[in-house]
Structure 1
Amino acid sequence: MFFQTAGIEVSPWIPPIVAFVISFFTSMGGVSGAFLLLPFQMTFLGYTTPSVSATNQLFNVVAIPSGVYRYFREGRMVWPLTAIVIAGTLPGVFIGAIVRVAWLPDSRHFKLFAALVLLYIGAKMVRELLGRNAGRGAQADSEKRFQEMVRRHRSKAGRVQAADKSDIKPIQVTHFNLKRLGYTFYDQSFDVSFWGIFSLSLIVGVVGGIYGIGGGSIIAPFFVTFFGLPVYTVAGAALMGTFVTSVAGVVFYQAIAPFYPAMSVAPDWMLGLLFGAGGMAGMYLGARCQKFVPAAKIKWMLAVILVFTALKYVANFFGY
């Protein structure tokens, strides 16, 4: 099947299957999988024009709602955190889209930028996993408590559905204003700076707008590593923030396309919808299974993939 906007030919069953596999695992870490889908499109499909960033964001728009719905059902959405993320990333994604089209249209330079983004995320995750943030005992305790609660319900009821009922609602917001956000996660308290989250979200929005990922894959590791928030509570907020900014990104890329007639800028709608269909199923199942998978394993999986992909792009840039 030929995709005209992307300028590539690929069997129609490949995009949804690839997106399903990627999203199933990455959604467990609170990210949509777009940060890995873009390297797949560039490396294996040969899709490197600026419109690949818009197509990647279209994938987010279609795929993310199923994962957010799952986290919402289980009472694991920190809505004030989500609101701050959206407020910060929205203006950033518009700036990023302009930077991508005006200064990074060349695929070689864009791949180097992508490599630096991926390498930075991966390195931060590896550092945290190797124990440099071992002092964050509240995070570890809350995650263990969540695992124990789920196991207790499974053994008591004899089925997974028991873990979805009313008493698996571990998050309670304690305060939220223009200075601080606080909430509890199974009796463990967390308190973060409003403006710290907002500033990070703005920077992430710019990077995400350039790369075409909405920013969730960057912001989720930051929440865990620098703010000490448990991965089980940031996943839903990161996904929801990515969804809203991706909608804005797709609309913006489509709107500016007429101003760049010699360049492919608008998303490839058919390709994006095929990716999104697979991602939708993968995210829903990934969000459902996340609570049964140890957080460390999720982080290690994402970190290894990130670092490997980044090093491959750096090697290609220098001709190796």
Structure 2
Amino acid sequence: MTWSAVALAVAAGVLISTVTTPVGVSGAVFLLPVQLSVLAVPNPAVTPTNLLYNVVSGPGALWRYRRLGTLAGPLTRLLLAGTLPGVVLGAVIRVFAVPGPRVFRAIVAVLLLPLGLWLCVRAVRPPPAPGPEGRGAAPSGRTITGLALVVGVVGGIYGIGGGSLIGPILVGRGMPVTRVAPAALAATFVTSVAGVATYGLLALAAPGAVAPHWGVGLACGLGGLIGGYLGARLQPHLPERGLRLLLGVLATGLAVLYLFQAAG
């Protein structure tokens, strides 16, 4: 990598993670266009490279959330119970089955677009909340683990972390962003470690660019480490309404991006 490419990767990591960390999104999904179009990371190596970014960038936000006392809790354990086996299965599917990304992007867009728009509308014009966690019953532990399993598989296949999917769903069901964000980032970090290890082992047996692009992953991750800490430090100063609006905007933006990619 040239010094200019390293600087670009670090800057992209800082900018994206600072914006996405407060709502529990690692930002890896928004790095995909940068890695593919600008930094020329080949497929399928872009998936483990994104997971490597999550591994390097995650400790900054997690350390800050731990100091705030918002990291520990049953939600983190429920998410890990699903995402850990899911990411290993997803990595195997990605290397040996290689499902079409266009279909995946269309499905995710159909899921996230109405959910993101609804979160935005609800944040701008919030309805009366009957309880401390807003309207709607929070999902059961079994439902959360089942969703996490699906998210883990998707993360293993496409390296998107999972917070961008599980976060809007849980918040949309009435859970506060301040509770969801630390748990989603913790699950993203642990499952990304497992995902990088799985891809490393698969690279020994599978042909092609299967291993992560270490230079890009480490450079983006360094930026994400800084930005993640800044984003986690910023979160307590943002109102719940503002966090919901930010999560809705990110979900809507991701859905629109995927619609254009699926149609292209």
- TM bracket, shorter-chain basis: 0.7 to 0.9
Cα pair 2:120 2:249 within 8 Å, conserved: no
Alpha-carbon distance, 1:232 to partner: 0.7
> Using the alignment, how far apart are the partners of 2:262 and 2:133 within structure 1?
39
4+ residue segments displaced more than 6 Å: none
> Using the alignment, how far apart are the partners of 1:214 and 1:255 within structure 2?
20
Alpha-carbon distance, 1:44 to partner: 3.4
1:268 paired to 2:213: yes
1:50 paired to 2:44: yes
Alpha-carbon distance, 1:35 to partner: 1.7
Amino acid at match of 1:219: I
Q: Residues 66 and 120 of structure 1: is their aligned pair in 2 closer, same or farther, counting only changes over 3 Å? A: same
C-alpha RMSD of matched pairs (Å): 2.5
1:37-93 C-alpha deviation (Å, 9 max, x unpaired): 123222433434011110101011111111111111111124221111111111111
1:138 paired to 2:138: no
1:11 is paired with a residue whose SS is helix
Instruction: Find the counterpart in structure 2 of residue 196 from structure 1.
Output: 143
Alpha-carbon distance, 1:216 to partner: 1.9
Q: Residues 242 and 315 of structure 1: is their aligned pair in 2 closer, same or farther, counting only changes over 3 Å? A: closer
1:279 paired to 2:243: no
1:243-296 C-alpha deviation (Å, 9 max, x unpaired): 1100000000110012222x1011111211111110000010100011112333
Tell me which protein shows more strand as a share of its residues: 1
Q: What fraction of aligned residue pairs are identical, expressed as a percent? A: 42
How high is the TM-score relative to the length of structure 2? 0.88
> Using the alignment, how far apart are the partners of 2:178 and 2:261 within structure 1?
36
Count how many residue pairs are aligned between Structure 1 and Structure 2: 260
Instruction: Find the counterpart in structure 2 of residue 72 from structure 1.
Output: 66
Cα pair 1:216 1:238 within 8 Å, conserved: yes
> Using the alignment, how far apart are the partners of 1:111 and 1:63 within structure 2?
28
> Using the alignment, how far apart are the partners of 1:115 and 1:34 within structure 2?
18
Cα pair 2:10 2:222 within 8 Å, conserved: yes
Tell me which protein shows more helix as a share of its residues: 2
Alpha-carbon distance, 1:122 to partner: 4.2
Q: Which runs of 5+ in 1 are unaligned?
A: 3-8, 142-189
> Using the alignment, how far apart are the partners of 1:114 and 1:42 within structure 2?
16
> Using the alignment, how far apart are the partners of 1:307 and 1:42 within structure 2?
21
1:96-118 C-alpha deviation (Å, 9 max, x unpaired): 1122223337xxx4255245425
1:239-250 equivalences under 5 Å are: 239-250=185-196
1:163-242 equivalences under 5 Å are: 192-226=139-173, 228-242=174-188
1:140-184 C-alpha deviation (Å, 9 max, x unpaired): 67xxxxxxxxxxxxxxxxxxxxxxxxxxxxxxxxxxxxxxxxxxx
Instruction: Find the counterpart in structure 1 of residue 115 from structure 2.
Output: 124
1:266 is paired with a residue whose SS is coil
Q: Which runs of 5+ in 2 are unaligned?
A: none
Pair member with larger Rg: 1
How high is the TM-score relative to the length of structure 1? 0.73
Instruction: Find the counterpart in structure 2 of residue 35 from structure 1.
Output: 29
1:138 is paired with a residue whose SS is coil
Instruction: Find the counterpart in structure 1 of residue 19 from structure 2.
Output: 25
Amino acid at match of 2:49: T
